[in-house]
Amino acid sequence: MEFEPVGFIGLGNMGGRMSRCIVRAGGTVLGYDVNPEVIRDAGAEPAPSIGELTEACETVLLSLPDSRVVETVVLGDEGVLAHVKPGQVVVDLSTSSPESTRMICALLSQKEAHYLDAGISGGAAAADVGKLTLMVGGDEQALEKVRPTLDSFAANLFHVGGPGTGHTTKLLNNFLNAVSLAATAEIMVAGKKAGLNLAVLLEVINKSSGVNFATLNRFPKIITGDYLKGGLTNMLMMKDVILYTELTAQLGVASLNSAGPLASFGLANALGYANEISNTVVDALGDISGGVRLCDPEDEP
């Protein structure tokens, strides 16, 4: 694959993985992160500043914690907006507020640059092997321009509509992810306390109507003590659920099912699991259910 050097701002948990995919595909990445130590680990060359990175690259990718950080990076005095050129494409791979995304898109459009909101799904495991799913909002021609770069870390790429629709789609998907993870954690703790064989319980569920992503891909590992570290944290999952509730409020949609994941991931954050992978929500529920752990310590790998 051949494509021009790519600028990448935010080379942490997910950004670093996507950057390495670009490099493995034959690309060159110019990187910027508040933690300079992660830049080389991501296979990138360090950029002196956000502004110089923006000036050097036709495509700029963002992978940042939330809309507040995205706005700081893009709209700050020495941010992306101050240095962007006509025709450039900025792709926000973060999970951001659609309202904030549309505002940023409008500001970049005034400089004849493009802003794509590209929600991602698949987690760290899919990012490691370049098999993420991307849901992209914004100008379709701009998407085609950067498609070779995105294809280096995405197995599935959907253009879902205009500005903000990528992040809207991501919030809807992430809410279902949060519901299924929190609900499955609860029933697995109940299964443990009931004395069930958890492997058999999962096998039954995965052949029955309760099957979901968590039962198929998360809990077969968790019951052996492997929490699949490296994915979305409890704090970030809580942030995504809150963004979802804000979205439904703006749309006038009754969000009757948000209380469960808000309570579950709020509990995990309160009990000290905020920066642990969101799969540890099962331990938070176990803590208040009598100190339950799905895997006995002596059985862990």
Report, as residue numbers or ranges, the catalytic residues: 170
**Among 112, 62, 52, which residue's Cα sits nearest to residue 87?**
112
Task: Outline where 154-290 has alpha helix (H).
Answer: 165-193, 198-206, 213, 219-222, 234-251, 259-268, 281-287
β-bridge pairing 89-92 and 6-9: unpaired
Provide the 8-state DSSP code for 227: -
d(CA 74, CA 84) in angstroms, rounded, equals: 10
Let me know the angle formed at the C-alpha of 76 by 72 and 77, rounded to the nearest 5 degrees. Answer: 165
Q: Is 46 helix (H, G, I), strand (E, B) or coil?
A: strand
Is the separation of the CB atoms in 113 and 89 below 8 Å? yes
Euclidean distance between CA atoms 283 and 293, whole angstroms: 6
Q: What are all long-range contacts of 256-261, with beta carbons under 8 Å and residues at least 24 apart?
A: 257/179, 258/175, 260/179, 260/182, 260/183, 261/175, 261/178, 261/179, 261/181, 261/182, 261/237
